[in-house]
Amino acid sequence: MKNLAPAIFPPKGIGDAKPSNKAVLDWVHEIATLAQPENIFWCDGSERENEFLIAESLKQNVLIELNEKKVPRSYLHRSSPNDVARVEQFTFVCTPTKQEAGPTNNWADPAETYAKLRELLRGAMRGRTMFVIPYMMGPADSPLTKVGFEITDSKYVVLSLRIMTRMGEIALKRLGNDPSAEWNRGVHSLLDVNPERRFICHFPQDNTIISVGSGYGGNVLLSKKCLALRIGSYLARKQNWMAEHMLILGVESPEGRKHYVAAAFPSACGKTNFAMLIPPEHFKGWKVTTIGDDIAWMQIRNGRLYAVNPENGYFGVVPGTSYKSNPNAMRSIAHDTIYTNVALTDDGDLWWEGKDGEPPAHAIDWRGNDWTPQSVEKAAHPNSRFTTPMCNNPALDPDVEKGEGVPISAIIFGGRRSDTVPLVYQAFDWNHGVYLGATMASETTAAAAGAVGRVRRDPMAMLPFCGYNIGDYFQHWLDIGKQLTNPPLIFNVNWFRKSSEEKFLWHGFGENMRVLKWIIDRCEGTGGALNSPIGWLPGPHDLDLAELDIDHIAVDQLLGLDHEEWEKEIAAHKEFFDSLGGVVPEELLKRREQLAAGFDL
Ligand code: GTP
Ligand code: SPV
Ligand code: MN
């Protein structure tokens, strides 16, 4: 079998940034003894190191060169066709008891799992280089910030983490030399990229992650879903903060009043797009800025929730990204970006479904095969991704590095629902908002392996990311609410409702500003709304739809409640809660009864 990650031998001064914390050194020694790499490369995240690793990656075909004029300092990576998305069925939470992992996680016994993984890792890095990556999640001066180390045998992981996290010296400084300091241990090995030996395992009580057999984003960039969400949520409950699958955006009125909102949509349901929204012409003078596009860490300060983005870059969905749908993303990925699983054109540029302009007459598809517009196969994989530093984003919020975070005025939940769920509505209060989050559902997407388009409950968009018992997670939300004297208002949105002809009823993208504006109006106490059984709904005149090409029938369909659909929906809430086997807090069960009563059910 072809060696997937042959060793590299750096010149002097590269790959020798050995940290001094003894706990880290002992752990690296332990893993090296087990995996037996050819050599150890201590990463510092420097420009020189990066250039060296890019050159080596080009030589070994881990990266493919692009046209320097079209996409400066950017590269294409192709993952194995068997390895293109998160694998929820092979993702485990290994708490001492099954009950701690709860009904929504795959649980495995920690001792047995460590033993199994040790066998898989034994000698796994023979002939390969073992990279040790120190990284920091969160702004340099935030109390929420965490340090992690990732050991990996993948250069793609090193190059990506340099974009996605604050890597190198800054992390070592934050950690210091105290051997008992809190830090995350992450071990990754490609092994032979075989789906039968692919496991993403979390040991929350040890602050440890071990991932083997994959080379794809969310499975191997251990900073992201593994640390910032699964381990993060576990730590957050213990330490009384929140780790959420949320974008964070700033929205400023022409008068200069600014609010921040956080929004939880499931994977591939619009977070990056919403976080980079450009208001339409009609909203001249309004400005939307990005704090983060995927993950929010929030803490309580003076009775309010404050959020930071733990990440330093965006790992975003490529297909559908265009100057029409998301100009800020297009500008962000125009340079210094790693692309994964998109198509390569004959002139060294990139192509994907939904990009501006005409498709090329010929390209090489994401698998490396010839492609023409007549091909049945897609040019880019539906879950193809860009990895780009957040500093590339023209709409980056000036307070993104602020350690205390930004105050959150509203929390928005949302999913992909063809029917039932209106464009937007507001929860009656915090606990009702927790109910909205706990019962939200979405049609599945290509971000995870498996069927696409199937409606599934995805509480707070955290179903694949909550690192402990979902019942305790709901309770944590309720407990946080009790400590807030000035809680964010909570909303639910659905950009994806369809007409009977299966067409989206709502324009989406920049036009979502109209919904955001109503949300801000509600926060400021000025927006109108109608009381309904599901929450506060905007009347057709409460939303500013001026200069939008939409008829009143579509508006009625977007904002309407269909009694039969809601009867089914409420039954599905009950079925979901029942399926969790008695862990759902009483308060949420009560809210369901109230909702049913509102529909005379
Ligand atoms: P993850 O990175 O997987 O967490 O995804 P995400 O939530 O950031 O989703 P993203 O913004 O990347 O959007 C995913 C897909 O939904 C893309 O193909 C977008 O073009 C599409 N999309 C985003 N916003 C809208 C919208 O408002 N309306 C419609 N119809 N599609 C949208
Ligand atoms: C998601 O699936 O929600 C992502 C992409 O943000 S990944 O990092 O692969 O999880
Ligand atoms: Mn995500």
Catalytic option among 43, 201, 226, 269? 269
Model confidence pLDDT, tens digit, residues 8-58 = 999 999 999 999 999 999 999 999 999 999 999 999 999 999 999 999 999
Concatenated DSSP letters of 164-217:
HSEESHHHHHHH-S-TTS--EEEEEE-TT--GGG-EEEEEGGGTEEEEES--SH
- pTM of the complete model: 0.98
Looking at residue 576, what is its pLDDT? Answer: 98
Model confidence pLDDT, tens digit, residues 161-201 = 999 999 999 999 999 999 999 999 999 999 999 999 999 99
Looking at residue 2, what is its pLDDT? Answer: 53
Q: Evaluate whether 522 touches 588 at the Cβ level (below 8 Å).
A: no
- Residue 429: pLDDT band with limits 50, 70, 90: very high
What residues flank ligand 2, with Cβ below 6 Å? 86, 217-218, 224-225, 267, 294, 315, 447
In the predicted structure, residue 1 carries a pLDDT above the cut 50: no
Averaged pLDDT, 345-373 = 98
Model confidence pLDDT, tens digit, residues 543-584 = 999 999 999 999 999 999 999 999 999 999 999 999 999 999
> How far is residue 78 from each of residues 204, 365, 381, 434, 491, measured CA to CA in Å?
31, 10, 10, 40, 39
In the predicted structure, residue 288 carries a pLDDT above the cut 80: yes
Looking at residue 200, what is its pLDDT? Answer: 98
Q: How far apart are CA 527 and CA 240, in angstroms?
A: 33
Q: Which atom of ligand 1 is nearest to the CA of 512?
A: 27
Averaged pLDDT, 125-145 = 98
Q: Evaluate whether 273 touches 288 at the Cβ level (below 8 Å).
A: no
The tokens describing 447, both together, are 């971000």
The tokens describing 475, both together, are 């309770």
Looking at residue 4, what is its pLDDT? Answer: 84
Degrees to nearest 5, angle at CA 592 with 591 and 593: 90
Is 391 known to be catalytic? no
What residues flank ligand 1, with Cβ below 6 Å? 265, 267-273, 293-294, 316-317, 319-320, 325, 447, 495-496, 504, 508-509, 512
Best CA proximity match to 497, nearest among 443, 438, 426, 567: 443
Element (H, E) at 289: strand 287-292
Q: Which atom of ligand 1 is nearest to the CA of 383?
A: 3
Taking the CA of residue 350 as centre, how many other CA atoms within 13 Å lie in the half-sphere pointing to its CB? 37
Q: Which residues contact 200 (CB under 8 A, 6 or more apart)?
A: 86, 87, 90, 91, 92, 209, 211, 214, 219, 226
Concatenated DSSP letters of 527-592:
---EEETTEEE--TTTS--TT----HHHHHHHH---HHHHHHHHHHHHHHHHHTTS-S-HHHHHHH
Query: Closest Cα to atom 32, ligand 1: which residue?
Result: 270
Degrees to nearest 5, angle at CA 141 with 137 and 144: 50
